[in-house]
Amino acid sequence: MTEPHFGFETRAIHAGQAPDETTGAVVTPIYQTSTYAQDEVGVHRGYEYSRTANPTRTALERCLASLEGAASGFAFSSGMAAEDAVLRVLPADSHVIIPNDAYGGTFRLIDKVFGPNGLQYSAVDLSDREQIERAWRPNTRLVWLESPTNPLLGIVDIGAVARLARERGARCVVDNTFATPYLQQPLALGADIVVHSTTKYLGGHSDVVGGFVAVNDVNLATHIAYLQNAVGAVPGPFDCFLVLRGVKTVAVRMERHCANARAVVELLERHPSVASVRYPGLPTHPGHEVAARQMRDFGGMVAFTLAAGEDAALKLVSRTRLFTLAESLGAVESLIEHPAQMTHASVAGSELSVDPALVRVSVGLETAGDLVDDLRQALDSV
Ligand SMILES: *Cc1c(COP(=O)(O)O)cnc(C)c1O
C-alpha cells in the first residue's frame, strides 16, 4: 500500500495505515496502552513501551515520512519538541544560521534555551546568499530555513541554501509547516531535515498540538529516534489519531486554502486602507519566481500592512466577524492576528521585531465570498 509510486493523495490515506491485522478495522485504532505483553523475555511484537513506540504513532510516522519522501519520520508532542530534538543533535559548541524572521518560538528556543548552554546563532536574510556567507563560521553546523517565512511570507531558495550548506559540511533543516508536503518537498530539493508543527495544516482542524521530524540519513534517524525515546516528548495515541485523520484530507484542503487566499489577496490589493500585501503568489513578490519553482501553489497565509499604522491594525483584527482573532494557523477556520503583539511578541525589541502595522491572516475553508465580505467591512471601518 505504501509504494512510493502512489500519488500524494493515495499515500496520505493509505501509507502506514493498512487495515488492522486482528480486526480488519479500516481506520488505524487508537492504541490507548502504555505497555505490551511479551511472549518471553526479549520476545515481543515490536512494541514494549509506548514512549518508545506505539502502533497509532507508527502509522502516523510512516504516513508523514512517505508524504515528505523521507526514509524515516518521528512524531513529537509539539512542533517545538520536534525542533528541540533537531537542535539536540548538534554538539554544544555549534553555530547555527537562522532566518531573521524565524517563527517566534524557534527564535526563543535557540536564543533563550539553547543559547545559554553554548549554542551560537546568526539571524540573517536567507534569501541573500552573501549574508549567509558572511555569517558562516568554522563551527556552523546547521542552517535553519523557513519558506514561506512567518509572518512576512518571505521565500527562500531551498535548493540553493541546501547546496551551500552541504558544500560547507553543514546540514540544512526546513520548517515546512507553512507549505506542507503537498505544496513543497524540501528533501527532494536537497534539505537534510524537515520539521513540522502538525498543529497547523497537517492536523488542520485546530484540535491537536503536535510535531514531526523527517530525515533520510540513517545516522541522523538513529540519533533522532534515540532522542525521541530518551527525552520522551512523544504524542499520545489519540493525538496521533487526530493528526492522521487530518492528513487524509490535506491535499484537498490545501487546494482550497490556496484558492481562498487568492480571493482575499485580490481584495487586499484593491483596498485603500491596505499599504502593502505580502503573498508569494503575487508576481510583485520578490520571491515569486523561486516560490513558483519550488512550490505547487502559494499557500493559505497572507500578510499585509495598514496604511494608517498600528492603531488601524489593532482595530481591524478586532472587527472581523468570520476571521477569529487568535494565534495559530492552518486550520479550517480563518484566523487573524497582530504579529507584533501576539505571535511575535517574544521577539519585540530584537533584530527580529516586526512592523506593528502588520496583520497576518490564515485563510480558512469558509465560502470565499463570505471571507472577502468580512475583511472588506472590517477594512472599510478603519
Ligand atoms: C506553530 C509553529 C511552530 C511550533 O509548533 P507548536 O506545535 O506550536 O509547538 C513551529 N514553526 C512554525 C512555522 C509554526 O507555525
Residue 209 domain-assigned (yes or no): yes
Pick the atom of ligand 1 nearest to 330's CA: 15
* 105 occurs within a structural domain: yes
| One domain, residues 225 and 285 | no
340 in a domain, yes or no?
yes
The residue from 205, 222, 247 where one domain ends is 247
- Does residue 291 share a domain with residue 186? no
CATH code of 77's domain: 3.40.640.10
pLDDT digits (tens, 9 = 90+) for 102-144: 988 999 999 999 999 999 999 999 999 999 999 999 999 999 9
pLDDT, tens digit, for every residue of 210-268? 999 999 999 999 999 999 999 999 999 999 999 999 999 999 999 999 999 999 999 99
Query: Does residue 333 form part of some domain?
Result: yes
Question: Of the candidates 365, 173, 125, which has an alpha carbon nearest to the alpha carbon of residue 261?
Answer: 365
Residue 3 within a domain: no
Statement to judge: residues 39 and 62 lie in one domain = yes
Q: Is residue 18 part of a domain?
A: yes
Active site residue 157: no
Verify that 188 and 133 share a domain, yes or no: yes
pLDDT of residue 350: 67
Q: Is residue 279 among the annotated active site residues?
A: no
Sign of the CA dihedral running 203, 204, 209, 215: positive
**Same-domain pairing of 95 and 63:** yes
Q: What atom of ligand 1 comes closest to residue 210's alpha carbon? A: 7
Asked whether residue 2 is domain-assigned, the answer is: no
Mean pLDDT of 33-44: 95
Residue 70: band (very low, low, confident or very high) from pLDDT cuts 50, 70, 90: very high
Q: pTM surpassing 0.85?
A: yes
**Would the CB of 80 count as within 6 Å of ligand 1?**
yes
* Number of structural domains found in the chain: 2
Q: Which of 153, 200, 361 to mutate to test the pocket of ligand 1 (most atoms within 8 A of CB)?
A: 200
**Domain with 28 in it:** 8-247
Q: Whose CA is nearest to atom 1 of ligand 1?
A: 197
Instruction: Kindly give the distance from the C-alpha atom of residue 86 to the centroid of ligand 1, in angstroms, as a whole number.
Output: 14
Query: CATH number, domain at 346?
Result: 3.90.1150.10
Write out the three cell numbers for 5.
509510486
* Residue whose C-alpha cell is 539571524: 123
What distance in angstroms lies between residue 48's CA and the mean position of ligand 1's atoms?
30
Is 139 found in the same domain as 106? yes
Instruction: Extract the C-alpha cell encoding 74.
Output: 518521528
Find all residues with CB under 8 Å of 58, minimum gap 6, and list them. Answer: 16
Cβ of residue 151 lying under 6 Å from some atom of ligand 1: no
- Boundary (domain end) residue, out of 215, 247, 279: 247
In the predicted model, is pLDDT for residue 199 greater than 70?
Answer: yes
Strands (E), 23-127: 72-76, 95-99, 120-124
Q: Which DSSP string corresponds to 225-269?
A: HHHHHHH--PPPHHHHHHHHHHHTTHHHHHHHHHHHHHHHHHHHH
Most informative mutation of 80, 173, 361 for ligand 1 (most atoms within 8 A of CB): 80
pLDDT at 317: 97
Q: Is residue 27 part of a domain?
A: yes
Contact 327, 105 (CB under 8 A): no
Quick one: 176 and 315 in the same domain?
A: no
Q: Are residues 214 and 313 in the same domain?
A: no
Check pLDDT > 90 for residue 1.
no
Residue 231 and residue 311 share a domain: no
Note whether 179 and 42 are same-domain residues.
Answer: yes
Residues 323 and 286 in one domain: yes
- Asked which of 220, 247, 274 is the last residue of a domain, the reply is 247
> What pLDDT score does 344 carry?
77
285 Cβ inside 6 Å of ligand 1: no
- 50 and 107 belong to one structural domain: yes
